[in-house]
Structure 1
Amino acid sequence: MKPIESKWEGKDGITFQVQGWEPDGDSKALVALVHGLGEHVGRYAHVGRALTDAGYTLIGFDLRGHGKSGGARGHTPSLDAYMQDIRQFFQFLSQRYPSIPHFLYGHSLGGLLSLTYAIQYGEGLKGIVVTGPALRSALQEQKAKVALAKLLGSLAPAMTIPSGLDPQALSHDPEIIKAYIEDPLVHDKTSMGFGKAALNAIDLCFSRAKEFTPPLLLMHGKADRITYPSGSEDFVSLAREKNRDVTLKLWDGMYHEIHNEPGKAEVIRFMLEWLDNHLK
């Protein structure tokens, strides 16, 4: 496994940190990673190890306001800013990996953004893998808070509050929880602009799910208390009306980070089998 580190500058001047892992030999495909809220690409090194062992390159970038990338922590001015960041990332990747297929892989917030991106710009992608997408959470059940979040997102977009994410709900593995809490690159901040962007992404995903055309593998832990598996089930039901290549896999008893659960080897193996089948 060969580690990769690089940087690129966004159109609004933010510098983005790129991190990834290549196999020692030729790579049969590229898997582009979009991580979750408050975290960073470095937390996926073990996934990179498994994918490179199978002949894939895994490479991602720290979202604006996350990890080693620039920008106020937990803030985005709009959903479109996220979309343009991902578009620029794929332009960067196309220069480095022009001759192999490209997959998109997103977790949690990254899963939501990956679905949103695929609906709008998914042409040319070999497939999409999404885990624990932030399509539904406790916030969506409180309509007054949703309306307030959208209002404040317009009036005070840079205003920041704690995300409220419970580290204990990430994984059953205490070492994962400890590492997350002690990680200096992890933060618990969300801005009002971010909140509005996320809610807009959710609205877009459900209103345009029937337009989802790339092959999709969507996986969710049944015991996820951070993002609800019912959101994934509802999205898949809509997407399947027009798209025959949609796979939903719900993992019994697993929390939010299924790739960090004690049974993660089985999760990653299932993902690799799906990737391999979509290279045939």
Structure 2
Amino acid sequence: MNNTQNRFTTFDQTEIFYQHWQATHESDTPKKAILLFHRGHEHSGRMAHLVNELKLPDFDFFAWDARGHGHSPGDRGDAPSFSACVKDIQYFVNHIQENYDINPENIAVIGQSVGAVLAATWVHDYAPKIRALCLASPAFSIKLYIPLAIPSLKILSKVRGNFFINSYVKSKMLTHDLERAKAYDEDPLIARAISVRMLLGLDEASNRIVNDAENIHVPTQILSSGSDFVVFQKPQKEFYAKLPHPLKEFHNLEGFYHDTLGEINREIAINKIRRFIQQCFDLPYQAPDLIHADKIGQSCAIAEEYSSPLPKNSFKDLFWQFTKKNLKIGSHFSRGLKIGEETGYDSGSTLDFVYRNESESPNFLGKMIDKQYLNAIGWRGIRVRKENIELLLKKYADILVQNRKPVRILDIASGHGRYILDAVADFSKKPDSILLRDYSEINVEAGKRLILDRNLESLAEFVQGDAFDTASLAAIKPKATLAVVSGLYELFSENDLLQQSLEGLNKAMLKDGYLIYTGQVWHPQQEFIARALTSHRQGNAWVMRLRSQAEMDMLVEQAGFKKIDQCIDDFGIFTISVAQKL
């Protein structure tokens, strides 16, 4: 195959190196591709042997050097965050689609070790419609051989900041292939160290993905090395057991060391990968059908469990009753807790307090409570979500201006509308109109005051409206070109409601207009929120049903939109996606 070396520009303008091996294509058949993601410390050159050994001549092959590795820029073994590398994959796939005319449903992914975890996290968080996912010895849990290594590194990183540690792994622990081991030892591009933030980010992402593997809806093959000195096999099996797709395989390769695809008898593993990919491509691509995930399935079961009462006076019941009483007591001192107790912890008033991110209590104890409250991981994720929404609003408003189209903003559940008004302040050109809507009269009045405070009354309007009323949304005039649904759909379990809302939104928008929508694919405090916090809806418990990104995207696509962009916070909680009306 003809090999070329190239670079693509990722989300923060970093130029990432990659190699491309071009297949000879039949003119009347869609192009197909295999993406290769190398293990930690290594680079694309260490995966290049697979191009010939897989014997799949009708596939293009792509292999990158992850940032901080090989020919890509950055400190060796480091990146801004683990999630930044996951987002790099999304931009890599976008680049391949745009420049080589290869659609995601004609792509298979092969990842090894850390590269396998990156690939699995990408599939979980971004829900790409790829054909197959092959993971070789995924590094879900590294054998650090030092007791309490991860907790110790977390403490040290808070004291020292980011720092580097050298890998204990020797080439003889990776493979029985003496030539490949020698090449590893002599390769100047091997990154011998890894940054602590990448190591901790890998650990956090791995725990999340293994625990939430039921939201990976792609045919998946796991190749596990039976004599692996580097990573544990148990979480690989746990991950596999939770995968929901019927097309899945787990292979225990007896005697294999960690470099599964570089072992001396690697043809055993490679033959399995070839057969799995060929079989997946012999079948027509079929997107997951998750329309009834609100009525049956794991996310439904978990939400149902957390909404069910606990046995009276059981340890768990007493614990959560005590927690709720503490919140009630704290609300007498803390402004943040008081707003939550009075209006609901999911209310627009609570979100506005979280966005302001300041302790507003008049007393010392209240200020301390506010600080701890605002530092909760969920509220930190909410603030990152706000920043990402503002960035995407500006990005797509600029695109509309460049295409000489009006910028008419519509938000159907604005809360107080702070994130929209904050974003507009940074626009290069003022929008033509802003229509904010919310069901709560309290939010509408607060939003109107914000509009007056910012002297935007000439172009912004705030009205009361139901975000799930299809006819009310469809009647909006003039039609919007940039619509936003932020933090709303996450509060409602029923997909029927979302379908009503999205149908109305489609009718409220011009063709080719952009819809920015949020999702909540995971939350580490889901049970705490359900058992201890109240909702704005009649003070009931705030029970969330988490939607996978695949489910959320499916609902949006069924309503007549095509997803074109996405980002997610470093915690893996809140996604912000962009879809275009077809």
Compute the TM-score of the two structures, normalised by the length of structure 1.
0.92
Cα distance change on mapping 1:113 and 1:154 into 2, 3 Å: farther
How does 1:1-20 map onto structure 2 within 5 Å? Answer: 1-20=1-20
How does 1:162-181 map onto structure 2 within 5 Å? Answer: 162-181=166-185
Shift of 1:153: 4.3
Cα distance change on mapping 1:30 and 1:141 into 2, 3 Å: farther
Say if 1:51 and 1:57, in contact at 8 Å, map to a contact too: no
Say if 1:130 and 1:217, in contact at 8 Å, map to a contact too: yes
Shift of 1:28: 5.2
Structure 2 CA distance, aligned partners of 1:171 and 1:94? Answer: 35
Cα distance change on mapping 1:10 and 1:132 into 2, 3 Å: same
Structure 2 CA distance, aligned partners of 1:29 and 1:155? Answer: 48
Structure 1 CA distance, aligned partners of 2:238 and 2:248? Answer: 13
One-letter code of the match for 1:5?
Q
How does 1:34-73 map onto structure 2 within 5 Å? Answer: 34-51=37-54, 53-73=56-76
How does 1:1-280 map onto structure 2 within 5 Å? Answer: 1-26=1-26, 29-51=32-54, 53-99=56-102, 101-139=106-144, 142=147, 144-239=148-243, 242-280=244-282
| Number of equivalenced pairs | 277
One-letter code of the match for 2:73?
G
Cα distance change on mapping 1:53 and 1:247 into 2, 3 Å: closer
One-letter code of the match for 1:211?
N
Q: Deviations over 1:67-92 (max 9, x none)?
A: 00000011122222111111111111
- Structure 1 window deviating more from structure 2 (24-33 vs 211-220): it is 24-33
Cα distance change on mapping 1:103 and 1:152 into 2, 3 Å: farther
Structure 2 CA distance, aligned partners of 1:16 and 1:82? Answer: 11
One-letter code of the match for 2:178?
P
Shift of 1:60: 1.6
Structure 2 CA distance, aligned partners of 1:32 and 1:193? Answer: 26
Say if 1:216 and 1:247, in contact at 8 Å, map to a contact too: yes
Q: Deviations over 1:240-269 (max 9, x none)?
A: xx3322211111111111221121122212
Shift of 1:93: 0.9
Give the match's secondary structure for 2:48.
helix
Say if 2:24 and 2:57, in contact at 8 Å, map to a contact too: no
Q: Deviations over 1:165-190 (max 9, x none)?
A: 22111110111110000011112111
- Structure 1 window deviating more from structure 2 (46-55 vs 58-67): it is 46-55
Cα distance change on mapping 1:157 and 1:89 into 2, 3 Å: farther
Say if 1:112 and 1:133, in contact at 8 Å, map to a contact too: yes
Greater relative contact order structure (CA < 8 Å, 6+ sep): 1
Cα distance change on mapping 1:99 and 1:138 into 2, 3 Å: closer
Give the match's secondary structure for 1:12.
coil
Say if 2:10 and 2:92, in contact at 8 Å, map to a contact too: no
Shift of 1:54: 3.7
Structure 1 residues without counterparts, runs of 5 or longer: none
Cα distance change on mapping 1:156 and 1:250 into 2, 3 Å: same
Say if 1:78 and 1:194, in contact at 8 Å, map to a contact too: yes
One-letter code of the match for 2:210?
F
One-letter code of the match for 2:107?
H
Structure with larger Rg: 2
Shift of 1:212: 1.4
Percentage of pairs with the same residue: 23
Cα distance change on mapping 1:91 and 1:148 into 2, 3 Å: same
Structure 1 CA distance, aligned partners of 2:57 and 2:233? Answer: 28
Structure 2 CA distance, aligned partners of 1:65 and 1:224? Answer: 25
Say if 2:227 and 2:258, in contact at 8 Å, map to a contact too: yes
Give the match's secondary structure for 1:73.
coil
Q: Deviations over 1:10-58 (max 9, x none)?
A: 3334321111322244585211111111100011221011345442222
Structure 2 CA distance, aligned partners of 1:110 and 1:177? Answer: 19
Structure 2 CA distance, aligned partners of 1:236 and 1:99? Answer: 28
Cα distance change on mapping 1:4 and 1:200 into 2, 3 Å: same
Structure 2 residues without counterparts, runs of 5 or longer: 283-582
Say if 2:116 and 2:135, in contact at 8 Å, map to a contact too: yes
One-letter code of the match for 1:256?
H
Match of 2:503 in 1: none
Structure 1 CA distance, aligned partners of 2:2 and 2:187? Answer: 23
